[in-house]
Chain A
């Protein structure tokens, strides 16, 4: 398949754009594969891509029940950052960040990763200390972080209310300049095209309806397009993990599925040139290249598979937005949507072999899924290929909860809605 470049664009424009080929093939499933990846979202596709690229395993099928990228990769607020408190998380997300920084070249697909920074605003001295703790933790792992003064913040985002009379005045903030945002759909499409070019079969409209077993071992899946066998079956179905694990006979997981709403305003000329988070609630915002303000807040707070949000969270998020930007009251919210989050008991993900023989599990992405896409696939591919985790994902086991080895960045314990 042709490389994408300014030259290929020009050449195709001259022929009326008639010669472009599909970004990925639409093959029928084969009877068997070396690896089946269930879930054609960002993580499943990147897993397939890195299986092929890093481990030479190309006899791979990605099974997607609907259209490719229909899950959370296309339903998020596109933030990419590695500003975590705990070293297990920071190391993993920093690995992801490094993959992001070269992703467009690697995929020959512009995922529009723009490192415009992520600024966490602090509103009390104690919070500023907390952010300093986190920033210093990052610096001790070689990750960039800086504290910003109120004056610096004012210069960066003039629309912010930095007055001392605000209900929660801004006292400073923690900035990760290498953080940024990317075009979410392009990530799915870029990985799909990249995996396809390396021989991976991407099979859409193929829902897994059961698991094939030989004794206790998983040997394949039954699907709406027939039975497919595989030496290894890998799950990357965040949001639906509970449902798919049920098919494998595992009824309980350390996961709850929750709805997270996100919002976009109408297009505006540039007004916010970074990613901002509010410290006295739960609110984050950035502005897309098209000009829409992209923002969100807390989970709706109860188990749901409905991809439908509730009104109180809408009101809460908008209120927090105006606490930061009282000038934006007349800007209008244009779209809202709900994504399904696998919320784990400590707020950190699971990338592991098992829990059944022949099965590999990637789930529990909570809020962090989009930014994790490259590293998640990279680590999962390693885990599948080598039958053991890479050191980056070694802490993200399923049994860590039981062993008291939780990775609890927020310190909230086993209450998923609070992570």
Chain B
């Protein structure tokens, strides 16, 4: 599997660390809504199909990427910085 890092270009999956479901929303730090926290920490979407997920280019620029990848075919539909945007804005 090749993941195209917006900084580094297409790189082998071995350079990346999987950080899981990118749909999860972290409650506000001060939130006391335990259900929301539990959902954030423990629940996963886990679809058979396109999956929005976070990868870190740990063996490269170390940026976190938001990757949309099909879990049935491993085909990658898109890769952007997790911070948002294709370009290197966000990191200076």
The chain A residues found within 8 Å of chain B, CB to CB, are: 240, 242-243, 246, 251-257, 301-306, 308, 310, 312, 345, 401-402, 414-417
Contact = CB atoms under 8 A, between A and B. Distances in A.
B48 A302 contact: no
Contact of B18 (A254, A255, A414, A417): A417
A345 B42 contact: yes
B51 A303 contact: yes
Contacts of A306: 71-74
Contact of B47 (A242, A308, A310): A242
Given A252-B43, A402-B38, A415 B13 contact: no
B38 A256 contact: no
A312 B12 contact: yes
Contacts of A416: 20, 44
Contacts of B21: 256, 303
A303 B1 CA distance: 13
B13 A256 contact: no
A252 B72 contact: no
B43 A304 contact: no
Most chain B CB within 10 A, of A252, A302, A345, is at: A302
Contact of B71 (A254, A257, A310, A312): A257
Interface of B: 1, 12-14, 18, 20-21, 34-35, 38-39, 41-48, 51, 53, 55, 69, 71-74
A246 B72 CA distance: 16
B20 A256 contact: yes
B72 A305 contact: yes
Interface secondary structure of A, over-half rule: mixed
Contacts of B20: 256, 303, 415-417
B79 to A, nearest CB: 14
Contact of A242 (B13, B46, B55): B46
Nearest to A415: B20
Interface secondary structure of B, over-half rule: mixed
A303 B46 contact: yes
Contacts of B14: 312
B48 A305 contact: yes
B53 A303 contact: yes
12 contacts: A254-B42, A254-B43, A256-B20, A256-B46, A257-B46, A302-B53, A312-B13, A345-B42, A401-B41, A416-B20, A416-B44, A417-B18
B73 A402 contact: no
Most chain A CB within 10 A, of B1, B18, B47, B53, is at: B18
A302 B20 CA distance: 7
A70 to B, nearest CB: 16
A156 B63 CA distance: 48
Contacts of B48: 240, 242-243, 257, 305
Contacts of A252: 39, 43-46
Nearest to B47: A242
Nearest to B53: A303
Given A302-B18, A302-B53, A401-B38, A256 B1 contact: no
A251 B51 CA distance: 13
B74 A253 contact: no
A253 B12 contact: no
A308 B74 contact: yes
Given A303-B53, A304-B71, A414 B42 contact: yes
B42 A402 contact: yes
A305 B44 contact: no
B41 A414 contact: yes
A336 to B, nearest CB: 16
A310 B13 contact: yes
Nearest to A403: B38
Nearest to A304: B71
B60 to A, nearest CB: 15
Contacts of B44: 252-256, 416
A146 to B, nearest CB: 37
A142 B44 CA distance: 37
A272 to B, nearest CB: 29
Given A302-B13, A310-B13, 5 more contacts: A301-B18, A303-B20, A306-B73, A345-B42, A402-B38
Nearest to B41: A414
B20 to A, nearest CB: 7
A243 B49 CA distance: 10
Contacts of A254: 42-44
Contacts of B55: 302
Nearest to B74: A306
